[in-house]
Amino acid sequence: MITRFAPSPTGLLHLGHAFAAHLAQQLARENEGLFLLRFEDIDHTRVRPEYYAAIEEDLRWLGIQWDAPPWRQLDRLDSYQNALETLKSLDVIYPCFCTRREIESELSHLTNAPHGPEGPLYPGTCRNLKNIPTDKEPAWRLDAQKAAALAGPLTFHDLKHGETTVDPLLLGDVILSRKDIGTSYHLAVVCDDAAQHITHITRGEDLLPSTHVHRLLQKLLDLPEPKFHHHQLVHDDQGERLAKRHDALSLRALRESGMSPADVYSQMPPLNL
């Protein structure tokens, strides 16, 4: 068994991250497996260099130990590019030149705009472009219909929820390569989990819709099928899920207020592994 914790160095860790890291580590320890750390740092518009060390320091303070040097996604851009080329050769992605504003305007004119669990889906403006501009760098989007037809029926196994049927159209034609960073969360995470031989992907249940896209990509890229464990999210006293904006609840702030690691663990929900 190999599990991982994959934070983005875009802010300080909070109690929700501590819970996610603890859960991934415990699952590995209980099964004599390995626990890895990976920095998901592709979004250079949001990454700050000081957060790599801050994250490692906060994890160490909690007694969390990873079993190999941490990976950084920025070191792996070539792999993502190769995967993108494979998807191009399968003809399941297409270049998209839309700006966010153009997409919003297109959606506002549609009476029946397609919706997913996270809001309106991309309306498909660039899906069948006749004249592809050569002077502009495109984003690349999954052609979810074509990809679904090529992949055939798929399921994924969640340790808590059992077997789930993949809905390949759930998030629509998601972006697989942003024009400014040359990849995306979906593409990078699928490549890395395979390259690091992750057998059990543990992550918050907010990412459950993404898993449908990831299974599809794993199949198209001929990558192994991992198992999943989508865990509950940690909420604040008002019932709102923790986010990086909750600076007052960062592990750093909790530590500075005098809390011990044991106090932090006592604030976490049960692992229910």
Binding site for ligand GLU (CB under 6 A): 6-8, 40, 189, 203, 207
Least Cβ distance, residue 223 to ligand GLU (angstroms):
14
What CA–CA distance (Å, rounded) separates 185 from 193?
12
Cβ 101 to ligand GLU, closest distance in Å? 27
Q: Cβ closer to ligand GLU: 41 or 173?
A: 41
Question: How far apart, in whole angstroms, are the C-alpha atoms of residue 124 and residue 142?
Answer: 10
Nearer to ligand GLU, 203 or 212 (CB): 203
CB of 38 to ligand GLU, least distance (A): 8
Smallest CA-to-CA distance from 105 within 127, 119, 129, 125 is with 125
Residue (177 or 202) nearer to ligand GLU, CB: 202
> The tokens of 50 are what?
């000081």
- CB-nearest residue to ligand GLU: 203
Dihedrals φ, ψ of 175, to 5°?
-75, 130
> Pairing mode, if any, of strands 34-39 and 71-72?
parallel
Nearer of residues 40 and 173 to ligand GLU, judged by Cβ: 40
Closest to ligand GLU by CB, 10 vs 81, is 10
Closest approach, Cβ 104 to ligand GLU, in A, equals 25
Burial track 76-99 (b if 16+ CB lie within 10 A, e otherwise): beebbeebbeebeeeebbbbbebe
CB of 107 to ligand GLU, least distance (A): 26
